[in-house]
Structure 1
Amino acid sequence: MAPHTAHETIPLDSGWEFKQGNRDSKNEYLPANNVPTEVHRDLLKNGKIADPFIDLNELSVRWIADETWTYRTSFTTPDHYSADTRAEQKTVLRFEGLDTFASVYLNGQPILESDNMLIEHRVDVAGKLYARDDKNGINKENELEIVFESARKRGLKLVEDHPEHRFIVHQTEVTRGPVRKAQYHWGWDWGPLLLTAGPWRPISLETYVARIEDVWLEYHLSDDLARATGKAWVKTPGSVDDVTIQIRKISSPKEKLGVTENAVIDFQGQCVQGIAEYEFDIPVELWWPSGYGEQTLYVLEAQVQPKSPDNASGGNFASHRVSKTVGFRKTELIQEQDDIGTSFYFRINNTDIFAGGSCWIPTDSFLSQVTPERYRDWIKLADEGNQAMIRVWGGGIYEPNAFYDACDKLGILVWQDFMFACANYPAYPAYLASVEEEARQNVRRLRNHPSIVIWAGNNEDYQIVERYGLEYRYEEDKDPQSWLKTDFPARYIYEYLLPKVISEETKGVPYHPSSPFGNGKSSVLKVDPTVGDVHQWNVWHGEMKPYQLLPHMGGRFVSEFGMEAYPHLSTLEKCVTEDKDRYPGSMAMDFRNKAIGHERRLVSYVAENFRIRYDLPNFTHLTQVMQSDAITWAYKSWRRQWGTKGKRQCGGVLVWQLNDCWPTMSWAVVDYYLTPKPAYYAIKRSMQPIVVGVTRKFNDWTMRHADDLWKRDTSHIDMRQVWTDVEFDAWVASSKTESLRGKLELKTFSIASGQEGSWRREFDVAVEPNGTTEVVKGCKIEPPTPSDPDSPFKPSKADPFVIYAVLTIGGQAIATDVSWPDPIKYLDFSDRGVAVEYSDSNSSITVTVSKPVKGFVFEEKERVRLSDNGFDLVPGESKEVYIDSALEGTYAPEYRYVGI
């Protein structure tokens, strides 16, 4: 007799139809995409709606959110499903994600009610499938139907049903508060309002005699990090004879999974009450963040053999095998008292890591169309941009395995939020039960990814507490049950339930109550530079301070800050299709930019700093250069504050945001089509292993800001100071763990003539390992043509200059930096003497100038990669940019620079 299958998965991905209305609706069924899918995609497939990513079409599809939608498919009962085997064999429908209020019917009978998009369901359907009649060739098809109700309407009903709770939400209408659905679907200040519905993750039919529910590791590394001691666990709900566990090292993990070496662990044992465990003490090679070592990974594989039944009819069963990729690393969040307050930085494998990187939002408004390859492309882009960390923001989803697999293989650290953002969430019993199931499922799924180094309870919910005066007595009230009776009951979730889940389900990963969060005292829930992590939004939002002040606006860890910019013209032309709408401030352009007050804020920042040119190509360029400038001020200055061991003023910086969920203008440094903006390259340059920084003292010519640091006694500024009061610092930052020696050269170039100035300095530098080396502080340069203070100031007689820094190690130029006088708009950029030469194969471009150039930007397109963009140039230096193009034919990009 052939063996019965221990575990078989049959994807139910094809043959789906959908219609508007419930099961009884007389509306016509239409063909749907293969599952996973969403209703907007299926309506688009059938020509029923216009593409909501184009022009103003988003407005024309808002009605979809208020409708009920029904999906159905049919499938044949598996051929090994019979009266003889049903008693021994389980048959389960697995729903990996239903969006969101879903009623599931099998052959007309209800089998599941779901109200949480972020969890999966397994439904035992043994005895509910139609029996096979192979003898007579009559096998009736099973019908699977799923009815999706309006999440918005159900949200309104839940708000009405719970008047005891004070529902407060930012960014969107109140209906998202009680609904466990990706919060950004209600729209955000960077994304459209597209309330999706449908089977957004795979659906399958599983049959098994025994199956592995989960396999995972818990371990502790020895002091020398050479050995791992711990347990390997296997959980199986079935009855099994034996369990086999193996751990095998993977070779060449950086690019792809290679062949596996001999097993480090090979264990066979018994499963007791559904759990098998094996204690181990083994030598290991470590998983390191990118740039610090190899990303060594292991395969953890388990296999179970079902027990033989008493009767002879089913006595021969095949086994079930499951494998996961794991890594060994030690993670610490260092929060120690120091001269500033309390530190906040990560130590991986006993090495301090400056976590420079970015925040991550869901990469599409329609998640079902994102492929594993696209996730890998995104993470590879972060890695190539020298980013060390990515923060999965709490208003989206727990990303699919492909996202974290890519982070594991490429060495990107993950800050993982739980899915709560910008709201006062309820905590009634049914909601708490759903949240706990959501948390446990996702922590279990993700717990052995070495890339995940922190879990955070939410995004900005404690800011809601302060803004609305909700009850939060951190020191006085330590009783979790009492928190449920306050108007901030979600404290129970963030400070009791979620840390409890983390402690029970995973080991070795710290938990942080929120982002941002200080030490729990109400006086430091807002931005406090001495403790915790901060979201710094007084540039762009809030006080709209000049971005040149960002160096003085940091904290122990900056987990959000940002500046807006347009994407490249190639992206704008895809989503704004009418020539008449392709100008800054058109209805189509303003509608697409969701940021509150962007009409004033973006223009203000551009106009303060640059000579504004309001046609689309030039305005696009200026927004990009302005964003890149702001990002540069932040990253290089906050990385400088990394300091030295024991004196870590700033532990990391994560820009808001890496990506977009649709084609738009936003804070993203890479647009929806994976086309980088110049700010992406600014981060790449600022996060090189060794960088040099040179920054002038900032003279605020706008005079709108009078805080303690920049307070003045007059409302007028002496404009001579902008160009003549030159005081600067220079430093070197290194992530290398070894000491290096080099030479720092500083010189000046006239912006008007391009001539090198007479001022020049050289310094021998002993580069501090994994830290900052201060080389020059408060150095002053006298103006080349000082003016008589009693005579009228004549800008034409002044000679403003750039300061150029070059760090040389071993005779090779390792890093450069350029410091400009602010504002750029006061400078004359005529006759720059720019020369652009393409290599014979068009694989590289070389740029030279005869006078200093600001913001040289190549126009980029989808499927093209440049080695650098958005850079500054000085005379005597050439810039070679390498091109990796998947486009047909020759790619010779257009370019712009300030004042072209």
Structure 2
Amino acid sequence: MLILDLCGKWQLLGIPQEEAKKLSIAKLPSEGWIEARVPGVVHLDLMATGKIPNPFFRINEKLVSWVEDFDWVYKREFEIRDGILNKDATELVFDGLDTFASIWVNGEHVGDVQNMFVQHRFDVKNFLRKGVNSLVVWFKSPKVVLEERLSKSDTKLKAAFYPPVVYGRKAQYSFGWDWGPRLPSVGIWKGVRLEALEVARIEDIHVRVKLIENLAKATVSIALTAYKEALCDLKLKLIGYDKVLVKKLHLQNGRNDAEFELEISDPELWWPSGYGKQKLYVIEVSLSQGPVELERKSVRFGVRKVELVQEQDDEGKSFIIKINDVPVFCKGANWVPADSFLPRVDRETYDRLLSLAKEANMNMLRVWGGGIYEDDAFYDLCDEKGIMIWQDFMFACGEYPESEWFLALVRDEAEKVVRRLRNHPSVVIWCGNNENDWGYRDRWWGDRERFFGESIYHKVLPEVCGALDPDRPYWPSSPYGGEHPNSQREGDRHSWEVWSLFRDYTEYRRDNGRFVSEFGFQALPSLETIKGFTLPEDRWPQSLVIEHHNKQTGGNERLYYFLSAHFKVPSTIEGFCEMTQINQGEALKVGIEHWRSRKFKTSGSLIWQLNDCWPVSSWSLVDYAHRKKAAYYYVKRMFAPVLVVLMKDDGMIRSYVVNDSLEGFSAELEIKGLTLNGKFLKSVSEEVSIPPNASVKVMDVELEELGISDTFNELVVAELWRGGKSLATSTCLLERPKHLKLPRAKAKVKLERVNHEGTLFRATVTSKAFIKSAHLRVRGVEAEFEDNYFDVIPGIPKVVYIRTPKRFITKLPKVELKDVTSYA
């Protein structure tokens, strides 16, 4: 195979609609073109050439709305030599075109596309010539196409935010969501190349593994496309092992299939993070004709078994994901596209965000159905890091067409997506859509005689998954299950009664969902991130710019509402940032503690959301600049392998110990009362045997037993001890923080240099009085903290490791500590 990369420098022209109706490929003007980069989208090129301002800055989003009204044309020239023309086939391959595009080679029309989610191939051998060739890609305005389809539709389908989007296969979030801007771009958003092929090419490799005791039996199915009849050798090699298999093939023109059987004795298994290692095997497949190797491809796979267990119990029906016969409590978050302009998302972006997820003790991410199927690099990294993927198909919060052409488009998309992702052990469940079944059931789109889109999620997608990937569970929708799609008794559940219905976050304890696949709470992004999209005059909590960067209706007002319920409300932007983030952490803490204490009555807790696509006040744990919000640290602690949970309930403290490890242990749980100023009152202790992979209710303690008499000036602390070592601590405030008599922080911070480079430090924080949500900062640099926004308990030193980008050799960095009293 010869490959001619066509990425890099192109030319780009914007055409208003009135002109677009008159123009053709032959009549394109010679002037007005700007330089473009591929992969790319038009907004990035317009920014790079100074034609539009940065849409993320201030309210510039409104200034660039004209871009979506234009058609956009890409063009370039490339040179062809004899080597390419002499091959049996030459294909023009686009890994991603967003979205409605016509492709022209040397002035000849070679095809049209209308799906941004899949690869497109065109046979262009007969369109090419020796020497200089031209390639033009004309993108129609998605707004114009989609709104025209809506206007011609007999049934005006409805959807969240921008209803016309359901008439095409373009990422829905690009037209705006309650956390994202309206910036629907177009472009050659992934790679493009010419592939000159001889005899045949390897189309697909599927490794299907059956685990039988200590033996992994792999069936390797290989699809090939032949361009002529030929005798070839197909060789399979298990890299790193003495396993080589060869087949003689008599290829026929068109589709050909081959199959190998492979056994691995005593295989190393692939496990989610926290349960074991992530062993990945590599199979290499090569196709040869005589001494000439035509093509070579490799795939990675893991040996692992996945099951979705739903069994009747006293609360309804379980929803447990088992990996290798071990039930796993799924701890994690929902993933949205990492940028409004997707070509900016590279492997480094994925690695940073996925590493943050793993460091926060997460073992699952849900790829949400209003975004995209992520790049291969995303799934490769999840395989390596042990992060399980709940993979939505891209249908969200809307009704969808069920016309023959649309269902065919969806089936083609699903087949390509399943084939691309099915070898990844990290992908553990397919899901048909986001909230569409729920929306129909609760009449979000009015009274309808039928459920538009039902045949997609309940017929087309399960058929595709069943045929192409039968060993992985398929789930029709999220949420789904029970008499109501958002039932607490079975299936998965989206818990939005708190944020959406303005209920206090202590109400999370009333939610006994079997698998909570969405719940969330908003906060501002970090102050440094805010500085990046504002001018100094914008930096106050109710400025127009701050409100513009919260896309939920009344979002800023909700932040005030929920913050004032628990904490004093600051007037400065710094204070508002810090306190909304702390309040977000406190809310998520309540939910996670409750659901983990119910393990495996509840079997999953996925936060909405991990990340952002632009700088915004949202439900994210990590903002657009990849800065950790306070809630990130809360979640990291709440998802720890061993967790102590304290809950106040009518004058009593209920206690639980949660153990995610596969080993049990014995320990001592001590619960004690303290004054906020640090005076010890009383304590009780109990020896407890903690089973593996379980939650145990330990004891109920009356407040009087702990010496508690003034709940506004006292708190409860628990510590789990094993062999003289503290395994976990927990605090329980007895009144809302805004009503407590919290002392001003007077902590001591002892700082020690750990490495010779002067970039790693150990901070030991102590205080005679209780400190709520203490957070450290290194003056003058953005440091990385192992932990932050933690409670400082009198008598219990808190050790935090700090890494700095700047070297401090001759002197120690200046470390500051603040807490909730710093902003009152």
What TM-score, normalized by structure 2, do the two folds share? 0.93
Q: Secondary structure at the match of 2:122?
A: strand
Asked if the contact 1:19/1:27 (under 8 Å) is kept, the reply is no
Give distance in 2, aligned partners of 1:755 and 1:879.
18
SS at match of 2:562: helix
**Structure 2 partner of 1:354:** 329
Residues 1:656 and 1:799: Cα distance change in structure 2 (over 3 Å): closer
Query: Structure 1 residue 518: deviation in Å?
Result: 0.9
The answer for the alignment partner of 1:729 in structure 2 is 654
Q: Is the 8 A contact 1:105 1:112 kept in 2?
A: yes
CA contact (8 A) 2:713 2:741 kept: no
1:808 to 709, 715, 721: 721
Question: Closer, same or farther in 2 for the Cα pair 1:230/1:44, shift >3 Å?
Answer: same
Contact 1:240 1:304 in 2 (8 A): no
Cα displacement (A) at 1:893 = 5.5
Question: Which residue of the other structure, out of 608, 623, 626, is the alignment partner of 1:674?
Answer: 626
| Bigger strand share | 2
Q: Name the counterpart of 2:669.
A: 744
1:512 aligns with 2:475: yes
Please name the residue that 2:119 is paired with: 120
- Does the alignment pair 1:886 with 2:791? no
2-structure distance, mates of 1:566, 1:505? 43
Instruction: Tell me how far apart the structure 2 counterparts of residues 205 and 836 of structure 1 sit (CA, whole Å).
Output: 61
Task: Give the structure 2 partner of residue 715 of structure 1.
Answer: none
- Report if aligned partners of 2:781, 2:804 keep a CA contact under 8 Å in 1: no
Instruction: Decide whether the 8 Å contact of 2:673 with 2:707 is kept in 1.
Output: no
Aligned to 1:568: 526
Return the offset for 1:175.
1.7
Q: Does residue 601 in structure 1 map to residue 590 in structure 2?
A: no
Report the Cα distance in structure 2 between the residues aligned to 1:42 and 1:203, rounded to whole angstroms: 17
Letter in 2 for 1:246: L
* One-letter identity of the residue aligned with 2:249: Q
In 2, Cα distance between equivalents of 1:731 and 1:681: 21
Between 410-419 and 681-690, report the one with greater CA deviation: 681-690
Residue in structure 2 matched with residue 334 of structure 1 by the alignment: 309
Distance 1:554 1:865, change over 3 A: farther
Q: Which residue identity lines up with residue 8 of structure 2 in the other structure?
A: S
Alignment-derived partner of residue 615 in structure 2: 663
Pairing of 1:463-612 with structure 2 (within 5 A): 463-468=438-443, 487-519=450-482, 523-525=483-485, 527-542=486-501, 544-576=502-534, 578-612=535-569
Counting only pairs closer than 5 Å after superposition, residues 778-857 of structure 1 correspond to structure 2 as 779-781=702-704, 784=707, 786=709, 800-840=713-753, 841=758, 843-857=761-775
2:672 is the counterpart of 1:690: no
Q: Among 616, 619, 624, which residue is 2:581 paired with?
A: 624
Distance (Å, rounded) in 2 between the aligned partners of 1:859 and 1:663:
22
Cα distance per residue 1:501-548 (max 9 Å; x no partner): 0011113110000000014xxx412x3211101101111102x11101
Q: 1:303 to 1:429 in 2, by over 3 A?
A: same
Is 1:198 aligned with 2:161?
A: no
Q: Pick from 27, 35, 59 the counterpart of residue 32 of structure 1.
A: 35
Matched with 1:103 is 102
Q: Is the 8 A contact 1:241 1:270 kept in 2?
A: yes
- Secondary structure of 1:53's match? coil
Q: How far does residue 271 in structure 1 lie from its aligned partner after superposition?
A: 5.6
> How many angstroms apart in 2 are the aligned matches of 1:812 and 1:221?
39
Report the CA distance shift for 1:739/1:264 in structure 2 as closer, same or farther (over 3 A).
farther
Rounded to whole Å, the distance in 1 between the matches of 2:748 and 2:436 is: 52
The corresponding residue for 2:75 is 72
**Which residue identity does 1:123 align to in structure 2?**
F
- List per-residue Cα deviations over 1:233-286 (Å, max 9, x = no partner): 1111115533434353xxxxxxxxxxx522445344436651111123332221
Q: Does the C-alpha gap of structure 1 residues 263 and 49 become closer, same or farther in structure 2, counting only changes over 3 Å? A: farther
Q: What residue number does 1:211 align with?
A: 201
Q: Which amino acid aligns with 1:631?
A: L
* 1:9 Cα deviation from its structure 2 partner: 1.9
Q: Distance in 2 between matches of 1:831 and 1:304?
A: 72
CA drift of 1:428 comes to 0.9
Shift of 1:777: 2.9
Deviation at 1:598, TM superposition (A): 1.1
Letter in 2 for 1:156: E
For residue 887 of structure 1, report the CA deviation from its aligned partner: 4.7
Unmatched 5+ stretches in structure 1: 1-6, 132-138, 249-259, 309-315, 473-484, 643-647, 698-724, 787-796
Query: 1:443 corresponds to which residue?
Result: 418
Q: What is the Cα deviation at residue 32 of structure 1?
A: 3.5
Cα pair distance change 1:887/1:65, threshold 3 Å: farther
Contact kept, 8 Å, 1:696 with 1:819, in 2: the verdict is: yes
CA 1:896–1:488: 2 relative to 1, 3 Å: same
Count of aligned pairs between the two proteins: 797
1:743 and 1:639, CA in 2 relative to 1: closer, same or farther beyond 3 A?
same
After TM superposition, give the deviation of residue 784 of structure 1 in Å: 4.9
Alignment deviations for residues 747-777 of structure 1 (CA, whole Å, 9 cap, x no partner): 12101x22111x2011111011100111113
Instruction: Could you tell me which runs of 5 or more consecutive residues in structure 2 were left unpaired when the two chains were aligned.
Output: none
Structure 2 CA distance for partners of 1:838 and 1:537, relative to 1, 3 Å: same
TM-score by length of 1: 0.86
Amino acid in structure 1 at the alignment position of 2:11: E
The whole-number CA distance in structure 2 between the counterparts of 1:461 and 1:343 is 22
Match of 1:791 in 2: none
Residues of 2 paired with 1:469 and 1:605: CA distance? 26
- Work out the CA distance in 2 between the residues paired with 1:265 and 1:818: 58
What are the Cα deviations for residues 850-877 of structure 1, in whole angstroms up to 9, with x where unaligned? 2111111235899742111111111111
Question: Cα distance, 1:435 vs. partner?
Answer: 0.8
Check the 8 A contact 2:78/2:134 in 1, yes or no: yes
| AA of the residue aligned to 1:97 | G
For the pair 1:392 / 2:367, whether they are aligned, the reply is yes
The answer to whether the Cα contact below 8 Å between 1:674 and 1:862 also exists between their aligned partners in 2 is: no
Specify the code of the residue in structure 2 equivalent to 1:71.
Y
8 Å Cα contact 1:166/1:424 also seen in 2: no
Counterpart contact for 1:102–1:147, Cα < 8 Å: yes
Once residues 302 and 640 of structure 1 are traced to their aligned partners in structure 2, the CA distance between those partners, rounded to angstroms, is: 47
The letter of the residue matching 2:71 is T
Distance 1:894 1:831 in 2: 14
Distance 2:262 2:44 in 1: 49
Shift in alpha-carbon separation, 1:443–1:693, aligned structure 2, 3 A: same
Query: Which whole-Å CA distance do the structure 1 matches of 2:209 and 2:33 have between them?
Result: 52
Distance 1:782 1:228, change over 3 A: closer
Q: Give the Cα separation in 2 of the matches to 1:233 and 1:784.
A: 68
Does 2:218 correspond to 1:236? no
The amino acid across from 2:470 in the alignment is K
Shift of 1:74: 1.0
What do residues 830-869 of structure 1 show as CA deviations (whole Å, max 9, x unaligned)? 3332222322446232221121111112358997421111
More divergent stretch after superposition (334-343 vs 275-284): 275-284
What SS does structure 2 have at the residue aligned with 1:187? strand
Indicate the SS of the match to 2:272: coil
Structure 1 residue 799 displacement after superposition? 5.5
Partner Cα distance (2:733, 2:708) in 1: 17
Spell out, residue by residue over 1:795-835, the C-alpha distance to the aligned partner (whole angstroms, 9 max, x if none): xx875311111111222111111111231100122333222
- Among 278, 281, 290, the residue aligned to 1:298: 281
How far apart are residue 33 of structure 1 and its match?
4.1
Encode CA deviations 1:647-683: one digit per residue, 9 max, x unaligned.
x210101000000001111100011121111211111
AA of the residue aligned to 1:192: P
- Equivalent residue letter for 1:748: G
Distance 2:257 2:69 in 1: 45
Which amino acid counterpart does residue 16 of structure 1 have in structure 2?
Answer: W
What is the Cα deviation at residue 886 of structure 1? Answer: 3.0
Q: What CA distance in whole angstroms lies between the structure 2 residues aligned with 1:654 and 1:66?
A: 37
Aligned with 1:509: secondary structure? coil
Amino acid at match of 2:529: T
Determine helix, strand or coil for the equivalent of 1:32. strand
1:718 alignment partner in structure 2: none
